[in-house]
Each structure stands twice: as C-alpha cells, then as structure tokens.
Amino acid sequence: MSTDTKPAYSPGLAGVIAGETEICWVDPDAGLMYRGYDIHEMAEKASFEEVAFLLLNGQLPTMAEFQRFKMEIAAARTLPKQVLDMLRLLPKNTHPMDMLRTGVSMLAPFDPELNDHSHAANIRKAIRLIAKVSTLITDGYRISLGLDPLSEKPDLTMAGNLFYKLNGEVPPTWKIRMMDTIFILYADHEYNASTFAARVTASTLADMYAAVTSACGTLKGPLHGGANEESMKMLDDIKTPDRAEKWMMDALAQKAKIMGFGHRVYKKGDSRVPIMREIGRDLGKRVGKEQWVPICEKLEATMEREKKLCANVDLYAAPVFTMLEFPPALNTPIFAASRVAGWCAHVVEQHDNNRLIRPRSLYTGPAMRPYKGISPNGAK
Ligand code: ACO
C-alpha cells in the first residue's frame, strides 16, 4: 500500500475553493454581496425577513410574499412542550450556545418533513428553523434564570421579538431597526466554518436539523462566532480608551490571539465593520456609554500599526450587544439567530445539487509495519 502521494495541501483549507454557491460572495477587499445585492445597501434599506427570503429563494419578495413569509415565521415560533421540558432539565450553568445546539437537535423529530429533502420541503423547514432558533435562545435564557418563557407576540418582527421574548418589553422602534440591521449583517458569509460544517453534514444527505446542529457546534468556537463573547471580556478588562494601546502591546508581546481581529478572507477590512462601528457610536450616544467605540478604534489603530491586521465584525458587535443590554453569553446565540437563515439557504443549495463533500488527508503517520501486539486476536 502506497502512502507517499502528495496531493496539493493547504492547511486549514486556506484559499481552497470547496464548492460553488449562488448565495453570497465575500470580497477580500472589504465587500459582501447577498445574491448580487451589496450588503451596505441592504443594511440601510432592507429588513432581515426580506434578506432571509432573498437568501432562501434567490430573489427579493413581492409585498405579498414578504407578508406571508413574516406570518409563516411568526406562526412557527412556539417550541414543542417536550423541548421546553428538556431545556429545564439542563444544568443552570449550561452555555446558551449549548442549549441552542441541543435544542435544534431535539427539534428534528418534531418536524413532519424531516427526511424530505425536496426544495419545497427544505424551504418550509428553513422557515421553521429560523423561527425556532430565536425561541430556543430567548426561552432557553429565561429558563436558565428560573423564569417561564413568555408567550409570542406574532405582530413583532424577528428583531423586535428577540428583545420582547427576553424581558417582556417591546423596545422602541430605533432599537428594533438597529437589531434588524445587525441581523442583516450576520445573515450569511459564504463558506465560513459553520456554514461549511452545515454543508458537509447536508452533503451526506442528512437532514437540515442535523446540518444546523453541526453549524451551531461550529459557531460556538472563539475563532469563529464565539469571538464576540470573548471580545467583550477584553473590552471589559481595558475599560477606558487611554488603556487600550498598552493593553494591546502587552497582549501582542505575549503572542496572544486578540479576539475580534483577523480574518481568513478579508485582508483590507471586514465589510461589516464600518456599519457595526457606526451602530456602536450611535448607540453609545443614546445610552451614555461612549467609551466602547474609542477603545475599539484605539485597538484597531494599534493592531494595524503592529501587525497589519484588521478588526472583524465581532470586535464591534461585542459592545453593541452589551449596550443593547444583552448578557455576553447571548452574543454568539444572537449571531446564530441571524446566521441560521444563511445556514438553511446553503443546505437547500447543497441538497438541490448534491455531491458528498469528502476531501483527502495527507498521511503523516508511521510507514506500514508488522503487527506485534501482546495478545493476538484478543486471546488469553
Ligand atoms: N491576534 C493576533 N494575531 C493574529 C490574529 C489575532 N486575532 N489573527 C491572526 N493573527 C496572526 C497569526 O498569529 C499569524 O501570525 P504569524 O504569521 O506570525 O504566525 C497571522 O496573523 C495569520 O493568522 P492565521 O491564524 O494564519 O489566520 P487564519 O486565517 O488561520 O485565522 C482567524 C483567521 C481564525 C479569524 C484569526 O485571525 C483569529 O484567530 N482571530 C481571532 C478570533 C476571531 O476574532 N474570530 C472571529 C472571526 S470573524 C467571524 O467568525 C464572524
């Protein structure tokens, strides 16, 4: 048996084209496009539900389609009682991302179309998943605090409902719009790690819930979605803008990985950062917490000077979520509440034109050698 083949190898699959997609394009020069529409224009003019429809269906909805889509999401929000009971059984210190991953997995058998991978059934499941991921986050969080979940307010959008289901208060319009914009920014990002995990799972012809469960597990890590929770710990530690440069220099001297910086694709800046930065600035003024954006800007300038690395969206998402009064443990789940639209769109695309994703590895273990075990065949 020969093990000496040396196929082209790129550690971490850097630069590898692992598939085709019509859904999203990340421009290394700080751009991002959903199905041909510039994210900057979408963030300003569209709503999250419109973007989710676009990602799933390939074109913007008509007004009638939009209204129906919103109603379908609102109607699908409630979780089965058994899933709520399961959330109550989890230890109180369970991380919300673990609650979410477990919840998505448990939802699978409750979906009557679980194993129907047709395009139409997958779209219907996507709507149910988009609705229920948010509810898993909000209900799970209340349960972890020993509180009962709140009943749904179907007239609220995804963004409004997220606030309402956490504390029972309908937020002001400006806050809902801000959250809507954040959801638009996070909705998709082509072959990022969690989406790729979803596509690998879907490529075995496993169902959409299995794929989204894989994606949730992958998003949790601090090199991916988990960075927005970790960034807040860093900002809390820094506290004031005048401490930011020294903090960064010390961390770099210790060769630390700084959360919220660097990106596999973007080399001239993350397309989403300018919008998230402005949301942070606006929010800072509204809530009287204007220190966070200047801290981030100081960190950005220092990192640019020292390592030529750019901030990614999670640097600014962290203080934005804090100023919106979400506990840091919900930062990554809120990311998931939006990204589930992208994950589902990619599963639909994968199932519609499937080929098993199964790369090779480069074997670096010992050469073939004779077996000299102490107990052949387990005898004795
Ligand atoms: N802090 C310090 N140094 C860094 C950072 C960072 N955040 N990111 C990259 N570098 C350095 C690396 O140490 C490496 O230096 P070297 O060449 O001297 O060894 C160089 O920059 C290249 O970095 P890689 O790790 O090879 O970049 P890669 O593409 O593999 O990783 C990643 C990208 C994981 C995002 C990385 O930049 C990182 O760990 N960032 C921090 C975590 C983070 O913010 N993740 C969120 C990503 S965005 C998102 O998921 C929404």
Residue 126, pLDDT > 60, answer yes
Pick from 354, 355, 320, 356: nearest CA to 335: 320
Interval 133-159 mean pLDDT: 97
In this prediction, residue 379 carries a pLDDT of 58
Measured from the CB, is residue 351 less than 6 Å from ligand 1? no
Which ligand 1 atom is at minimum distance from the Cα of 262?
37
Give Cα separations from 174 to 33, 36, 146, 279, 370 (angstroms).
Answer: 25, 28, 30, 11, 70
Between CA 242 and CA 168 the distance in angstroms is: 38
In this prediction, residue 373 carries a pLDDT of 87
Interval 138-148 mean pLDDT: 97
Measured from the CB, is residue 261 less than 6 Å from ligand 1? yes
Neighbours of 377 (CB within 10 A): 6
Question: Apex CA 256: angle with CA 218 and CA 329, to 5°?
Answer: 45
Q: Compute the distance from residue 262 Cα to the ligand 1 centre, in Å.
A: 4
Interval 144-158 mean pLDDT: 96
Measured from the CB, is residue 186 less than 6 Å from ligand 1? no
**Confidence tier at 377 by pLDDT (50, 70, 90):** confident
Between CA 212 and CA 194 the distance in angstroms is: 9
Interval 324-353 mean pLDDT: 98
**Confidence tier at 380 by pLDDT (50, 70, 90):** low
Measured from the CB, is residue 195 less than 6 Å from ligand 1? no
Question: Tokens 């998505």 correspond to what residue?
Answer: 104
Q: Two tokens at 65?
A: 């389609």
Q: Whose CA is nearest to atom 12 of ligand 1?
A: 257
Interval 2-9 mean pLDDT: 66
Measured from the CB, is residue 260 less than 6 Å from ligand 1? yes
Residue 4, pLDDT > 80, answer no
The dihedral sign for the CA sequence 166, 193, 101, 90 = negative
The dihedral sign for the CA sequence 349, 354, 355, 361 = positive
Our mutation pick for probing the ligand 1 site, out of 306, 312, 339, counting the most ligand atoms within 8 A of Cβ, is 312
Our mutation pick for probing the ligand 1 site, out of 13, 235, 254, 257, counting the most ligand atoms within 8 A of Cβ, is 257
Pick from 254, 239, 220, 203: nearest CA to 339: 220
In this prediction, residue 259 carries a pLDDT of 97
Measured from the CB, is residue 273 less than 6 Å from ligand 1? no
Q: Burial, 338: exposed, middle or buried (Cβ in 10 Å; 0-12, 13-18, 19+)? A: buried
Q: Average the pLDDT over each of 67-81, 209-223, 365-379 and give the range with the smallest value.
A: 365-379
Interval 33-50 mean pLDDT: 98
Which ligand 1 atom is at minimum distance from the Cα of 189?
51
Between CA 324 and CA 284 the distance in angstroms is: 10
- Residue 24, strand partner residues: 34
Q: Whose CA is nearest to atom 26 of ligand 1?
A: 264
Interval 256-281 mean pLDDT: 97
Q: Whose CA is nearest to atom 15 of ligand 1?
A: 307
Measured from the CB, is residue 267 less than 6 Å from ligand 1? no
Residue 254, pLDDT > 80, answer yes
Contact 26, 265 (CB under 8 A): yes
Measured from the CB, is residue 309 less than 6 Å from ligand 1? yes
In this prediction, residue 235 carries a pLDDT of 97
In this prediction, residue 7 carries a pLDDT of 66
Q: Whose CA is nearest to atom 10 of ligand 1?
A: 262
Question: Tokens 């029972």 correspond to what residue?
Answer: 168
Our mutation pick for probing the ligand 1 site, out of 309, 313, 321, counting the most ligand atoms within 8 A of Cβ, is 309
In this prediction, residue 328 carries a pLDDT of 96
Interval 184-196 mean pLDDT: 98
- Residue 378, strand partner residues: none
Contact 188, 195 (CB under 8 A): yes
Neighbours of 63 (CB within 10 A): 7
Neighbours of 7 (CB within 10 A): 8
In this prediction, residue 121 carries a pLDDT of 98
Q: Whose CA is nearest to atom 42 of ligand 1?
A: 223
What is the radius of gyration, based on Cα positions, of the chain? 22
Q: Compute the distance from residue 290 Cα to the ligand 1 centre, in Å.
A: 28
SS3 at position 79: coil
Which ligand 1 atom is at minimum distance from the Cα of 314?
51
Which ligand 1 atom is at minimum distance from the Cα of 224?
50
Neighbours of 32 (CB within 10 A): 25
Residue 255, pLDDT > 70, answer yes
Q: What is the DSSP letter of 182?
A: H
Contact 237, 247 (CB under 8 A): yes
